[in-house]
Structure 1
Amino acid sequence: MPSISEKGRRMPASPIRKLVPYAEAAKKRGVEVIHLNIGQPDIKTPKIALDAVKNNTIEVLAYSMTEGSEAYRNKIAVYYAKNDIHVSADDIIVTTGGSEALSFAMGTLMDKDDEIIIPEPFYANYNGFATAMGINVVPIESKLENNFALPPIANFEKLITPKTKAVLICNPGNPTGYLYSQEEIKQLAELVKKHDLFLIADEVYREFTYDGRQHYSILQEKELEEYAIIVDSVSKRYSMCGARIGCLVSKNQNVIKTALKFAQARLSPPTLAQIASEAALDTPQSYFDDVIEEYMSRRDILVSELQKLDGVKVAVPQGAFYCVVELPIKDADEFAQWMLEKFEMEGSTVMVAPAAGFYATPGLGENQIRIAYVLEKEKLIKAVFLLGEALKQYLSQ
């Protein structure tokens, strides 16, 4: 019988999606499942983006340019300039979501068995992209006790080997919600220049920063042009997850020219989604002001309710719309599945994402979960109440 690849066997399952069968079974039993597990915003997509597709008069839905339409890339460059990031259309490759941009970056920078250092916990699919590319993730632990701040630079230097090619950060972070300060970005900039490494920043949550904090991009840092690569996406910014449009951005033209060859192998990004994404760039600032105010309100309520639960610890997010929560249990995977299979109260239960899948170091995060606060406030309050009741039942067994 033919066998699958070793790489396929090592490919990690998504900690966000692997519990879906249990959630679907619960729904078939008539149980309401409140989804805290996935970052699918309930915020409405800007009407201007939807109308651009609805009112389009295209008669032939043709391929676009491999690097994305020139008109769209020019508008992306204007968007970045408004954020004090100065790039041209030639520095941008439009991709099928931020996921493809990350894959292109890894394929461009690294060969088999090369290493990439990533502060953990991190977006779980980084493990998947690295496995698919034959790259080794070297994790460096950040801690809930200090809100998942950047680990000391000395700890990064201990991990650098001749195989190290890049450092990858998510800013603001998924799953932590941590926002790296300008000083922390400057420390990373000095590190990669000193050791001749690339610095990749996943900046898809750039707009979502709270409490008066400002996002500082790696491409705002001087003398980092040859080292810096941004991964970006429209998914969360405009609540357009289904568009599957992102981009790879770098001033390093060797990076762009090489990534373009990977892009050519998949032909082009989706045409209609680019039309919607280009139109979305005209979304007024008032949209983001309202969204940020809503997410801050949700964050405050969520954190306040979680802090009322015995034995629960929560990091306070400074951006994005996720938080990591430590529970008074040993195995969050088992607990999350138990809630879907065994627990309900007044016809409802909760689905969370076990956090161990957001770490690369075995044993870390086993008593933690990630919560996405993308639901209306009343649902969040109900979900945390159910979580607390579930913990009481689970711990009393």
Structure 2
Amino acid sequence: MPKISQKGQRMPASPIRKLTPYADKAKLDGKKVYHLNIGQPDIETPEGMLNAIKNIDFKVWAYTPSEGTLVYRKKLTEYYNKLGYNITPDNIIVTTGGSEAITISMMACLDPGDEVIIPEPFYANYNGFANQSDIVVKPILSFIDNGFALPPISEFEKLITDKTKAIIICNPNNPTGYLYSKEELEALKELALKYDLYLFSDEAYREFCYDDRTFISPMHLDGLEENVIVMDTVSKRYSACGARLGCLITKNKAVLTAGLKFAQARLSAGMVEQIAGTAAVDTPDSYFEAVNKEYTSRRDTLVSKLNKIDGVYCPNPGGAFYVVAKLPIDNADKFCQWMLETFSYNNQTVMMAPATGFYSSPGAGLNEVRMAYVLKNEDLQNAMICLEEALKVYPGRVVNNEQLAESR
């Protein structure tokens, strides 16, 4: 029988989706499963987007330009320039989801064997995208004890070699919810300029900043115009994950030229999605204000409940809609599967994402899980009751760090 490729063998499974068969089985067994594993918002998609789709009137469902329709790119320019990005439609390549913005950026800027430094834990699919492009991920640990703040620049410099070509940040961060400060971004700017590195900025959660904290993009930093590539998506901003519509933004003309060739190779992003995306830009500020208020409430509920559970610690994130929590467990993968396969409380259980999949360093994240606060407060409260009861009876409960070390 023919064998699959080595790349296929190396491709990591998604920590967000790999336990789905166990969740499906739990539901078939009659259990209610609280889905905290995936960032699928329950917030309604803006009415303007949905109406734009309902009112579509075309006779041919045609290809669009590989870089995206001019109408949509002009509308996106309005959105980004309102944020101070100072771009034109020619600085944008429309992509099939934020995922394609990441892969096109990698392929346009990095050769096989090149290295990219990423603070971890990081969005799990970065590992998969790097594997597809034969790029080497050089992880740099951030720590739950200080809320996953950016590691010291001196630690970045220890990893830089002649193969290092880029740094990737996700701000606000998935999976930790950490929101990078202007000082941290200025430090990354100096590092990128010193070593002539690309700075990839994944900004999928730009709108989700809490406690009056301010979002800063590398696009706001003077002197970094040739280094910055922004990767974005409508998925989270407009609760439109199924639209699969994103974009790549840069002022670097060489990257745009190369990126467009990859965009041409896959032909185009969808027409219907861009029609909806064009309408989305006119979503009133009141929509985001209400969403921000709701997520702030959910964050406060989840973080408060987690930190009241014996042996659990969860920092308070400044953005996105995720937390990473440290649990008194031996192995997050085993625990998350056990929750679905074996445990129930009042015929309910919780699906979480083991944090091991958000690290590249072996052994990291063994006692951590990621949770998405994309459910209503009542459901979050019930989910935390389940989690607390589960930790009381989990066979692999760990009472101290030494016991965790022995379990490795």
Match of 1:311 in 2: 311
Q: Say yes or no: does 1:162 pair with 2:162.
A: yes
Match of 1:32 in 2: 32
**Offset of 1:386 from its aligned partner?**
0.3
Match of 2:214 in 1: 214
Deviations 1:146-184 (A, max 9, x none): 100000001000100000000000000000000000111
Q: How does 1:12-31 map to 2 (within 5 A)?
A: 12-31=12-31
Match of 1:188 in 2: 188
Distance in 1 (alpha carbons) for counterparts of 2:381 and 2:297: 12
SS in 2 for 1:30: coil
Q: Say yes or no: does 1:354 pair with 2:351.
A: no
Distance in 2 (alpha carbons) for counterparts of 1:121 and 1:315: 14
Q: How does 1:1-397 map to 2 (within 5 A)?
A: 1-395=1-395
Distance in 2 (alpha carbons) for counterparts of 1:34 and 1:301: 15
1:352 alignment partner AA:
M
Distance in 2 (alpha carbons) for counterparts of 1:31 and 1:58: 45
For structure 2, the residue ranges without an aligned partner over 5 or more in a row are 398-408
Count residues with an aligned counterpart.
397
TM-score with structure 1 length normalisation? 0.99
Match of 2:402 in 1: none
Deviations 1:321-351 (A, max 9, x none): 0000000011011011111111111111110
TM-score with structure 2 length normalisation? 0.97
SS in 2 for 1:239: coil
Deviations 1:294-326 (A, max 9, x none): 000000011111111000010211000000000
1:311 alignment partner AA:
G
CA RMSD of aligned residues (A): 0.8
Distance in 1 (alpha carbons) for counterparts of 2:59 and 2:330: 58
Deviations 1:57-102 (A, max 9, x none): 1111100000000011011111011111111100000000000000
SS in 2 for 1:369: strand
**Offset of 1:2 from its aligned partner?**
1.1
1:12 alignment partner AA:
P
Distance in 2 (alpha carbons) for counterparts of 1:136 and 1:330: 29
SS in 1 for 2:232: strand
Q: What is the percent sequence identity of the aligned residues?
A: 58
SS in 1 for 2:200: strand
SS in 1 for 2:158: helix
For structure 1, the residue ranges without an aligned partner over 5 or more in a row are none
Moved over 2 A (4+): none
